[in-house]
Amino acid sequence: MSPREPSSDRAVRSRLLRSLTASALAVGLAAATAPPASATPQAARAGAGTQRAQLLRLARNLVDAGAPGVIVRVDDGAGRPVEIAEQAAWTRRDHPLQAGDEFRMGSNTKPMIATLVLQLAAEGRLALGDPVEKWLPGQVPGGEAITLRMLLNHTSGLFDYTEDPAIRPSILGKDRRRWTQAELLALGVKHDPLFAPGTRWSYSNTGYAAIGAVLEKVTGARLADLVRDRIARPLRLHHTYYPVGSAWRGPYARGYEPDADHMPAEVPAGFRDFAGPRHHGHVDVSGNDLAWGGAAGAVVSTTQDWSRFYTALMSGKLLPAAQLAQLRTTVPVDAEHPDGPGYGLGIQTGTGPCGTFWGHDGGVPGYLTTTLTDRAGGRTATVLIATEFWAEFEADPKIAEAAHALQNAVTCTMFGKPVPAAQAG
């Protein structure tokens, strides 16, 4: 299929492993009521119990709207973090959901992969301006003009491999092959590029497949080992890892999608039938292998671990100042709105009434995650929703409305500001 052909299936595939935070969440925040400027730290502390109760209610509303499970963790940097786990009654036979459970991070993998590249840049082992041809000769057509920086900030113009029909059986859990970075890269570059390198922005998981291949070439190590040795072990992230199979290492949140008979009508026929155990109109997809996510989306973590990662990253513990500045150097997501949401190196940013946030999100079958932090890493937040195709296909307005309400409230709580009145009522 040509990348320029209009197709509803192509539009859907383009959102898999795609990042939505800076565009979608910033829009939601723009509609929120700004908190009073006169709020004092004492008043904020006094309202902490109220805020937790509001977040708990909004999480419960999301479950009542149809989400099988929800995990929330918010740390405003001023006290004890708020942790919430809510689940539908029918899911308890599979696993009693806990706030510390492991889950698939999807495209939240990208900030971690970008951090590995920047660490190697700081060590002089590669440079952001290196053409991809230098490290992967002959593997990327036009690779002489595509730099590592372009791969990281999605300005390479490479077609997104998740849009190729060959990946669909893996997405549905029916093909359990162990995709390599080189195979994922080859899947994307067999299509014509979308535009000349560096001239536009377009989210491309193929760019991160290329980055994964470069990391393995430069270091001679597997991505799983790089994540473990350079990030997880130094930060004592005991439940964060790049999986080498479908097995989990600790207690984990089950992820679900509706079965074929209960899938919303908006979902095309080719995306309606997942592999996995079935009950209560759903398929448990948490045992399906995410090798197809590769460097673009395969990492597993927890809310606590990810908070620690973001704090270390944004405070400079993982990167020298020069590389951290590169991470935060953004390009506009929408060329028509250059002052709007921006994308840096594996991380994006947006501004709402409650503050300017940095972060990412990720969507893979069964798991939709949003992770946020402030510029210094002193405040962090994560929301996990244990189902994802409603977002891919805009197929469930009821879940979408409840999810936006929770995400907006979580963001303002992270900044230590009152939950907007529109969400608190």
Catalytic residue among 107, 156, 202, 307: 107
Nearest-10 Cα torsion for 289, 271, 14, 389: -80
Cα–Cα dist 351/233, whole Å:
33
Neighbours of 75 (CB within 10 A): 24
Q: Which helix (H) or strand (E) holds 3?
A: none
> Is 301 tagged catalytic?
no
Smallest Cα–Cα separation from 25: which of 405, 367, 307?
405
**Please, what's the b/e burial string for 110-143 (b: 16 or more CB within 10 A of its CB; e: otherwise)?**
bbbbbbbbbbbbbeeebebebbbbbbbeebbebb
Reading the block at residue 16, the tokens are: 């898999």
Distance from C-alpha of 211 to C-alpha of 136, rounded to nearest angstrom: 10
One-letter amino acid at 330 equals T
Sign of the Cα torsion 318, 324, 328, 331 reads: negative
Q: Any alpha helices (H) in 157-302, and if so which ranges?
A: 168-171, 181-189, 205-219, 223-227, 233-235, 294-297
Which residues are annotated as catalytic?
107
